Amino acid sequence: MNVWTILGIRATTDEREIKRAYAGQLKTTRPEDDPQAFQALRDAYEAALQLARYANEHGYQPDDEGDLQPVYTAAYEWDPEPEPEAVPEVSSVPVYAAAYEFEPIAPMTAARRVWADFLTSAHDNTPQQLRELAGRGDLLDLEVRECFELCAVQYCAGVGCDDEFRLALAEHFQWENDYAFIYREMPEETAAMMAQLRDYRYTR
């Protein structure tokens, strides 16, 4: 089940539509009635907003599966069946296959896909979910893994993040032992997250 299914809407980059869908779901999904369903709804809402903002900033549109796809203008379209007279002689013109290749998916785009999918069930035994994520090979690409880690930092820096969830991610990525990379990329978020981790450990 992806974030859009949980929110009850089709994939969109309209933040207002996402917020309206979330508000509508809150009428039937209350934390006091079903904490687990509410957490899944909240995670889907946060993930959908992240996807929408990234798509709007980088010229992507989500497809029906919630994946971000680049928006190609007519300038980049290619007619797979050109008129016969428009086809040059093969022997006289070299073929450049690369001219028709699409740009590969950016690491952050791939990481946000994985993060959004992960959030749909991440609060149900988070350490196990992280192990399964690693086992599926979604983060074998180092750049994707680093971007996924930055998605996690941004989420964990929020005051609404569950303490146990934040702790599980910190232990998985060993942030308390070495946070040089995430601090270099996200200094404010890292500082806020580390302070919350220290406070939680102190009060446990």
Segments making up each domain of the chain, as ranges: 1-67, 106-204
Residue 156: half-sphere exposure toward Cβ, Cα within 13 Å: 30
Q: Which of 88-102, 152-166, 183-197 has the lowest mean pLDDT?
A: 88-102
- pTM to 2 decimal places: 0.56
- Residue 105 pLDDT exceeds 50: yes
- pLDDT category at 171 given cuts 50, 70, 90 is very high
DSSP H or E segment with residue 132: helix 126-136
Q: What percent of the chain has pLDDT over 70?
A: 76
- Residue 170 pLDDT exceeds 90: yes
- Residue 95 pLDDT exceeds 50: no
pLDDT at residue 70 in the model: 59
Q: Which of 16-20, 101-105, 126-130, 149-153 has the lowest mean pLDDT?
A: 101-105
Mean pLDDT value across the chain: 78
How far is 25 from 31, CA to CA, in rounded Å? 12
- Residue 75 pLDDT exceeds 60: no
CB 43 within 8 Å of CB 120? yes
- pLDDT category at 83 given cuts 50, 70, 90 is low
pLDDT at residue 173 in the model: 92
CA 172, 178, 182, 188 dihedral sign is positive
Mean pLDDT, range 69-86, rounded to an integer:
50
The CATH number of domain 1-67 is 1.10.860: no
How far is 13 from 71, CA to CA, in rounded Å? 13
- Residue 146 pLDDT exceeds 80: yes
- Residue 77 pLDDT exceeds 50: no
Mean pLDDT, range 24-28, rounded to an integer:
88
pLDDT at residue 85 in the model: 55
- Residue 118 pLDDT exceeds 90: no
Task: Specify the 3-state DSSP secondary structure of 122.
Answer: coil
Mean pLDDT, range 188-201, rounded to an integer:
90
Task: Give phi and psi for 69, each to the nearest 5.
Answer: -125, 140
- Residue 37 pLDDT exceeds 80: yes
- pLDDT category at 159 given cuts 50, 70, 90 is confident
Mean pLDDT, range 77-103, rounded to an integer:
49
Task: Specify the 3-state DSSP secondary structure of 164.
Answer: helix
